[in-house]
Homo-oligomer: A and B are copies of this chain.
Amino acid sequence: MNDLVTLRDPVADPAVLAARLRDESAPDIVEALNQQPPEVAASVLLGLGAERAVEVLDQPGLDEAVEIVEALPRDRAGPLLAGMAADRLADVFRLMEEPGRSDLLERLDPETQATIRALLAYPEESAGSIMTTEFVSVPAHWTVGQTLDHIRRVERTRETVYSVYVLDPASHVLRAAVPLRRLISAEPGASVLSAAPGRRPVTISGLASRDDAALLISKYDLLAVPVVDGAGHLIGIVTVDDVIDAMVQRQTEQVQRFGGMEALDEPYLRISFGEMLRKRAGWLAVLFLGEMMTASAMQGFQDELEKAIVLTLFIPLIMSSGGNSGSQATSLLIRALALDEVRLRDWWRVALRELPTGIALGAILGGLGMARIAAWQWLGFHDYGAHWGLVALTVGAALVGIVTFGSLTGSMLPFLLRRLGFDPASASAPAVATLVDVSGLVIYFGVAAIILRGTLL
């Protein structure tokens, strides 16, 4: 099955492909390699020369970096890995399996090994796990000129230099972050600290979430946020390009989870059939079990159903309206909470806002529903019986109740999840619809019992 649906170009001759790609930019080489099986991609890499190969491996867009590295001859893999940026290399090791992982790790020089082990110790999705340990730091007693000379010497070996970090010479605590452009405009003879901005540098703990790193970078318009340990020592930096990659990945996870499934960790056409099934079947089965309550609810109303079969006609219409209004409210509150527009303690403000909104939306749909029933009756499309007016009223009133209930439930679910310590973004449209469906049936038959008592029921 898998072979049928993979997205690869015809397998190419590695030597020909390497010659064709040699002058392309690394991201463009990555695009071409993503179309090839890992073994071919590995041969192409070896044909590009060490410097280009490292550049390519450093690209987070390389889909099968782990498989490619595993396909390299062990003695060639070592030097290439040692050349990679530490944060990217840690990503690759994180996805690698034993015993290949330990074997490759031990082929690295001791210093790189220690760095990688330290990065791997940070939990997934933490700021520490995406930080780079390659930054430029200088002691606080240096001058601007000394600092610029130092940058000139190390520039080629550092992934990115946006700012220079100034450390206390004795304690090594971070004192300041000096942007390059301020360094250029400063007097060469002045202290490097004199070029620093007035405020204390914004920092983050390695154990904080990478989302928090993204928020800081976005809020303070930074190019990198320094990661410090408990004592204030600089241990790495999270750069803006890592944050953008994390944001793109996070957006994908969020949409998939809101769609009612576990987030995939591979591209759609690459993930195996079994893995795809597992990610989708779990939530689908949970939702199905929850939705079984509707069958139980319907069984409870079987007498009413037999007496007034006309009521069944509108069950899908009414239930879906509850689910749809709930899905809207959930999507609104997931983002409002994520962006800190709304805090946990604001739940009652939100409830006070959703209540009239739900009533108004329900009244609009109720009006449409009643108009539809009246129109079909008058035009002779369908006969809803002698009491059609009361049936229309039942549908209209039930819609007001259900849409209001859906809006309230949908808006409160993200708060409940956060209160319980979960990510509000784990709320999904299908989950809200399932929550609202059973109560929707109860509301519908409850309204019917009141309005139709003595006539149909």
Contact = CB atoms under 8 A, between A and B. Distances in A.
Interface of A: 1, 4-5, 7, 25, 27, 61, 148, 151-152, 155-156, 160-162, 180-182, 184-185, 199, 214, 217-221, 223, 240-241, 243-245, 247-248, 251-252, 254-256, 258-261, 264, 267-270, 273, 276-277, 280-281, 283-285, 287-289, 291-292, 294-295, 298-299, 302, 305-306, 309, 312-317, 319-321, 323-325, 327-336, 339, 341-342, 346, 349-350, 352-353, 356-357, 360-361, 364-365, 368-369, 372, 382, 403, 428-430, 433-434, 437, 441
A29 to B, nearest CB: 12
B7 A349 contact: yes
Given A27-B220, A220-B25, A277-B360, A259 B317 contact: no
Contact of A372 (B292, B327, B403, B434): B292
A259 B256 contact: no
B315 A267 contact: no
Q: Which of A285, A341, A403, A429 lies at the interface centre, i.e. has the most chain B CB atoms within 10 A of its CB?
A: A429
Given A1-B356, A218-B248, A353-B5, A294 B268 contact: no
A313 B296 CA distance: 8
Contacts of A313: 295, 298-299, 302
Given A298-B313, A305-B312, A334-B255, A155 B185 contact: yes
B151 A181 contact: yes
A288 B258 contact: no
A159 to B, nearest CB: 9
Nearest to A289: B368
Given A25-B199, A309-B305, A353-B269, A261 B328 contact: yes
A375 to B, nearest CB: 11
A360 B162 CA distance: 51
A243 to B, nearest CB: 7
Contact of A294 (B221, B273, B317): B317
Contacts of A433: 320, 323-324, 433
B361 A280 contact: yes
25 contacts: A1-B356, A25-B199, A27-B220, A61-B219, A180-B180, A223-B223, A240-B241, A244-B247, A254-B255, A255-B331, A256-B331, A258-B258, A258-B331, A259-B328, A268-B341, A268-B342, A269-B350, A273-B356, A277-B357, A284-B321, A288-B321, A292-B317, A299-B313, A299-B382, A316-B437
